[in-house]
Amino acid sequence: IFKEMYKKEPVVEAIHAGLECGIIGEKFSGMDMISIGPTIKYPHSPEEQVHISTVDKFYQYVIEIMKNI
């Protein structure tokens, strides 16, 4: 879906962070999961920033995912 919408490969990164995936993963070991969202810089800090232009882009992507479930 991402490639169809944006005509490029998504950027896939593995990070170590305190995301919800870590909490869920503790309760359901072995579950495959991902975390996606708009572009955020300096998360969980006083300097946290969201790139506003990526919020609608992310929303439209989620809508397309839901249409294809």
Q: How do residues 1-58 score in pLDDT, each as one tens digit?
A: 999 999 999 988 877 666 788 888 889 989 888 888 999 999 889 999 999 999 999 9
What is the pLDDT at residue 18? 63
pLDDT tens for 56-69 read 999 999 999 999 99
pTM of the entire structure? 0.74
5 touches 59 (CB < 8 A): no
40 touches 54 (CB < 8 A): no
Q: Six-digit token pair at 10? A: 């998504």
What is the pLDDT at residue 62? 97
